[in-house]
Structure 1
């Protein structure tokens, strides 16, 4: 089977949509050549990515015998952007994933993987719906336990904690949403966020300030995206209602909502009993590997991995990510995919 990365509108996968808890979700389905599939894997993207961010993983996992489902998450790529911010809470998004999964596995289980915000979400799906999850993995995003009492992010940063999340104070506010509107600005933003550099090393983003809006128009092309891929990202962003970034940025606006939802979980011991995998990226400034200290106490079946490079490990370190995920999956499934490795 052809394991080269997906291209825009790739004929190897199907593009579908479904009504999920009153919202339209777009998603991609990749079917393996073997029948029945070894298992069903859902892959959840983060910010400012979309399902296409998993383009290097989908054909590879299909070649190992997996059915692969990649949702366009709430606020992205033609999936709905509800007005109610509560729809973007991790508890509500977890319920959406569960309902979409039922279309494919009925009362069975899925394997669930996520990157960035998708990584944060998959750990929460495993907390809220453990019976749905056979195994779960996160790329770059470590697990953190429900918090009690409430501490605002501003206060944590002022106290010298989670300073690597300082950029989130900008993203949850109005500035980026207001500035990045229309095709040209969206293109500059995406090119920059995926690593475009200016003539003097200017960048689009840092963890101290967030998006460096004044730099965006000066940046050269990102090496992580071909022209065709960047065009596709922009096209998908332009499917969203104005302002195009409201849905994606809403994920940063639910911290208090998530805390309130999770108060019942914070009152009891938290354990994820299913097999878990966390793969860090060594040069991820927003989600450094050190952020995962203490994860092991919540996950008796945790496997750890690490890849070189930046936050964009799915494309920048795709071969290494794929190999580590496949080795772990083969252990989870008791050697069921060994012949394909």
Structure 2
């Protein structure tokens, strides 16, 4: 089959709308070529949507997987509730577990993939629904165990810890959603987030600052998205009611809520993740440098680690390499539950 990356509204996949736990979700489904070997659920991050997995979907369809890729809550064609509790990992994992079970049943299992915020969702699905997840792979986002003590991000940054997350303070505040409204502004923001640069190397996003608004108009095209793809992203983001960025940015407003919701996980005490897992670091990821994952192995019974020479956008920048790493890892693993 044709394993080239998906195009906007690609006929190789089908588009679906489903009400899940009272919320309207949009997702795409790609059916496997030949005999089905399993079902794969792929979860995106910010500022992305299901289309962010465009280079992976056809590849894994060709490997025999049914591939399900939602637009996360707040994004594109999926609903963006006002209540922040819908954006917590506890809520989103429950949503995606229900979606997955529509395809594999109550006793079936999935291969789970995540990137960026979707990586944290994937890790929390492993924590909360280990019986559902046969194997999990995450690109860029290290596993973070549920904590027993809450520390505001502002305090960590002031202490010189997690300074690479300083941009999250801006994202969680009022400025980005207020200043980025309308399709043209959305397109400029997305172009900046995906690496567009100005004639003198100006950038539109710094992890130490956030969006550099004054540079957005002078940036050249992103090297990671074609004009058609960037237009598609802008069109999809513009589907949300103004301020269109509120839903995606709400993911940065849930730190305290996530801490509170995850206390049941923290109360379990020391235990290792039993689900066989793969972590792929991106060597040039400014927000999530590989060093963050240094001690990850201590948290897992079976963890494989790999690294690609890429920025945060490894899924498209080094798509073939990421796909090969995941595929080889899947081939080496023995299914933990014969219910696929």
Range class of TM-score, shorter chain: over 0.9
**1:68 and 2:50 matched:** no
Gapped regions of structure 2 (runs ≥ 5): 336-340
**1:289 and 2:255 matched:** no
Mapped to 1, the partners of 2:229 and 2:334 lie a distance apart of: 34
Q: Partner residue of 2:38?
A: 39
Map Cα deviations across residues 178-218 of structure 1 (whole Å, 9 max, x no partner). 01000110010001110100011001111110111111111
Whether contact under 8 Å (1:282, 1:309) holds in the other structure is: yes
* Aligned ranges 1:180-199 → 2 under 5 Å: 180-199=180-199
Q: Partner residue of 2:101?
A: 102
Q: Partner residue of 2:161?
A: 161
How many residue pairs match? The answer is 333
1:226 is displaced (CA, Å) by 0.8
TM-score (norm 2): 0.97
* Aligned ranges 1:261-300 → 2 under 5 Å: 261-267=261-267, 268-300=269-301
Mapped to 1, the partners of 2:79 and 2:25 lie a distance apart of: 7
Map Cα deviations across residues 59-93 of structure 1 (whole Å, 9 max, x no partner). 00000000000001001111000110001000000
**1:251 and 2:248 matched:** no
Q: Partner residue of 1:173?
A: 173
TM-score (norm 1): 0.96
Mapped to 2, the partners of 1:204 and 1:333 lie a distance apart of: 44
Mapped to 1, the partners of 2:273 and 2:22 lie a distance apart of: 29
Q: Partner residue of 1:224?
A: 224
1:332 is displaced (CA, Å) by 2.0
Range moving further from structure 2, 265-274 or 105-114: 265-274
Whether contact under 8 Å (1:13, 1:29) holds in the other structure is: yes
Mapped to 1, the partners of 2:334 and 2:186 lie a distance apart of: 42
Following superposition, which runs of at least 4 residues in structure 1 exceed 6 angstroms of deviation?
Answer: none
**1:10 and 2:27 matched:** no
1:333 is displaced (CA, Å) by 4.1
Whether contact under 8 Å (1:145, 1:270) holds in the other structure is: no
Whether contact under 8 Å (1:135, 1:276) holds in the other structure is: yes
Q: Partner residue of 2:338?
A: none
Q: Partner residue of 1:320?
A: 321
Q: Given the superposition, is the C-alpha separation of residues 68 and 333 from structure 1 closer, same or farther in structure 2, using an over 3 Å criterion?
A: farther
Gapped regions of structure 1 (runs ≥ 5): 335-341
